[in-house]
Amino acid sequence: MKYLFRLLCLCLPLLTSCDMGDDEQEWSLPVGSALPHFIVTTDDGRTITEEDFIGRTGIIVFFNTACSDCRRELPLLQQAYNDSLSAGSDALFLCIAREETAPVIRGYWEREGLTLPFSPQPDRRVYNLFANLGIPRIFVTATDGRVRQSLTDWPR
């Protein structure tokens, strides 16, 4: 839990949104909501669904490596991930790309020394289950699979 508090303290001041669409009203999965049904495959070949978050704390991050705000936050998330591993926590971290492919993400991960698990998504199909505007967007989940916190500063 200490690393989650650290993550929230570090990320809240930095949260800004790269996606600025004024024509659409913002929507996001509300705090207290159950995670929607989704299936993603991570860079290491694991299949993850909303069921994998039951019984453990979760961090779901929506990002795109072209987003300057995401690039500022990913190292902070990496540190929280490292702290979680060091503490022996079973927290589940999952970075889900919004409109980005595996080769692009993998190249960025290698250049930046990131080891967070990621799922490339060439479209907004999974993202749209959680929100419609703004990245980076972070959802912290409770052990019951419900959203405990939704972090973004959209709209500015």
Residue-by-residue DSSP string for 96-129 = EESSB-HHHHHHHHHHHT----EE-BSSSTTHHH
- Residue 91 belongs to domain with CATH number: 3.40.30.10
Q: Report residue 31 as tokens.
A: 């705090």
**87 or 6: which leads in pLDDT:** 87
**CA atoms of 133 and 125, how far apart (whole Å):** 13
Task: Give residue 72's domain range.
Answer: 2-11+34-151
**CA atoms of 24 and 54, how far apart (whole Å):** 32
Instruction: Look at residue 28 and tell me if it is in a domain.
Output: no
**CA atoms of 4 and 117, how far apart (whole Å):** 17
Instruction: Look at residue 101 and tell me if it is in a domain.
Output: yes
Note the pLDDT tens digit of each residue in 62-72. Answer: 999 999 999 99
Instruction: Look at residue 79 and tell me if it is in a domain.
Output: yes
**CA atoms of 5 and 87, how far apart (whole Å):** 14
**CA atoms of 88 and 17, how far apart (whole Å):** 32
Instruction: Look at residue 22 and tell me if it is in a domain.
Output: no
Instruction: Look at residue 89 and tell me if it is in a domain.
Output: yes
**CA atoms of 92 and 81, how far apart (whole Å):** 9
Instruction: Look at residue 25 and tell me if it is in a domain.
Output: no
Instruction: Look at residue 112 and tell me if it is in a domain.
Output: yes
Question: How many domains is the chain built from?
Answer: 1
Instruction: Look at residue 27 and tell me if it is in a domain.
Output: no
pTM: 0.86
What strands, in cross-sheet order, belong to the sheet with 147-151? 118-119, 92-97, 58-63, 137-141, 147-151
pLDDT band at 121 (very low <50, low <70, confident <90, very high): very high
- In the chain, % of residues over pLDDT 90: 80
Q: Which amino acid is at 137?
A: R
Note the pLDDT tens digit of each residue in 102-111. Answer: 999 999 999 9
